[in-house]
Amino acid sequence: MHSLKNMFLFMMAMTFIVLYFVWSSQGREVRGKSEPPEKFFLCHFSYEDMRNTVQSDSLPTIYFITPTYPRREQAAELTRLGQTLMHVPNLHWIVADDNQACNDMVTKLLKKFGIPFTHIASPMPEIYRKAETIPRGVANRRAALNWIRKNVKSGVFYFGDDDNTFDLELFDEIRDTKKVSMFPVGLIGDYAVSSPVLKEGKIIGFFDSWPSKRKFPVDMAGFAVNIELLLSHPNASMPYKAGYEEDQFLRSLGVTIGDIEPKGKSCTQILVWHTQTTKKPVPVLKFRTRPDNSLRELYEELHFLGMADYSRSKGVISYVTKDGVTHRL
């Protein structure tokens, strides 16, 4: 009997020890190591609005934050988004590029739209590129928030990815955000939507196929924030923790469910879609000699836009076709 009692006490002690180590390891995971230094470079900014849209001093400015990164689809994505934003008055576009240096192509492209803009180079710290799940876009958004803190006193900011699709009505909805507004996002997860759930005009929960114990299981495109709220929380930040960026950022702002302003006809209307373009690697075009025709300038344009490269020794063999006959370049 005495030996059984000792065995029981030993098992209980071992259980407590195991639980302690599990708890302590989770604590280290949440707190993590000190964050590595971030490098942000201001590439270009312009407050001048060259569009023909009517501007109004009474309308709050929307600061539209777009994280982007070099790929062959980048110019096309930014062009499509820029053509949408051209129709939105009182908007400042912040484009933060995951790049070690300022990309002249991005600056030149942004100037075309006539929208007031800020172009930032904000490379992700290398340590996070090796993570099992990479926290994409975090460095870009943090850089944009840093710029806002230093340069803006009022308005509303919104995170809009360069491959998402936006109804122009969305901008009218979020412009009067007092603290935090939320609304449905289409084409998200297994439910095809992520949205707050309302009853009698009040938010009672969230409809999202990946809750994962998040207090705010929402998509990055599903909320807008008043800048005065951001400025009143100087330590608010977005973590380098894939899948939890939105939740922990909103928590750091001290947001409660009662603070949330539902938009989109009481969260029954979809005004933004999480569309995603199929990504393909940049092709290398193999030319035996550089073309002496219009293809030379066309190739230079492809290279400038990050859509293709050129080589004489490797890559896709290139041809010109005339009357059904192919001629190798």
Three-state DSSP state, 325: strand
The residues pairing with 316 across neighbouring beta strands, listed in sequence order, are: 285
For the question of residue 132 being annotated catalytic, the response is no
Say if residues 251 and 262 touch (Cβ distance below 8 Å).
Answer: no
> Helix 74-85 and helix 104-112: axis angle, to 10°?
30
Q: How far apart are CA 224 and CA 245, in angstroms?
A: 14
Please tell me whether 176 is known to bind a ligand.
no
Element (H, E) at 182: strand 180-182
Q: Which helix (H) or strand (E) holds 195?
A: strand 193-199
In this structure, how many other beta carbons lie within 10 angstroms of the beta carbon of residue 178?
Answer: 11
Catalytic residue among 126, 246, 261, 301: 246
How many H-runs (helices) and E-runs (strands) does the chain carry?
10, 18
Q: Where are the alpha helices (DSSP H) in the chain?
A: 2-31, 74-85, 104-112, 126-129, 138-151, 169-174, 227-231, 245-252, 264-267, 294-304
The three-class DSSP label of residue 172 is helix
Q: Which residues are annotated as catalytic?
A: 246
Binding site members:
163
Binding site members for Mn(2+):
163
